[in-house]
């Protein structure tokens, strides 16, 4: 049986925390920032957790995490 491979795109986007939850970066923060308000850009800072309904599929893409 061959080794299970990690999806490299998912490895770049997600990290599994010690508690088992998966963290992700925020969307809508890369470009076209001039028309977004300072408040909205400030609220997009930091990392967020992946929604519970999506954790199972993300963990499947990261078998060694």
d(Cα 5, Cα 60) in Å, to the nearest integer?
A: 10
* pLDDT at res. 17: 95
**Residue 65 confidence class, pLDDT cut points 50, 70, 90:** confident
Q: Mind listing the pLDDT tens digit for each residue in 9-58?
A: 999 999 999 999 999 999 999 999 999 999 999 999 999 999 999 999 99
Two structure tokens written together for 21: 């939850």
d(Cα 57, Cα 65) in Å, to the nearest integer?
A: 13
pLDDT at 1 over 90: no
What is the arrangement of strands in the sheet containing 14-16, beginning at the earlier edge strand?
Answer: 14-16, 22-24, 48-49
* Nearest CA among 40, 42, 48 for reference residue 15: 48
Asked if 45 and 26 count as a contact pair (C-beta separation under 8 A), the reply is yes
CATH hierarchy code of domain 8-61: 4.10.410.60
């Amino acid at each position: 049986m061959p080794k299970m491979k990690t999806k490299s795109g998912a490895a770049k986007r997600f990290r599994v925390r010690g508690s088992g939850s998966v963290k992700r970066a925020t969307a809508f923060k890369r470009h076209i920032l001039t028309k977004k308000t300072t408040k909205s850009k400030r609220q997009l800072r930091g990392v967020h957790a992946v929604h519970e309904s999506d954790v199972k599929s993300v963990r499947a893409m990261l078998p060694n995490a």
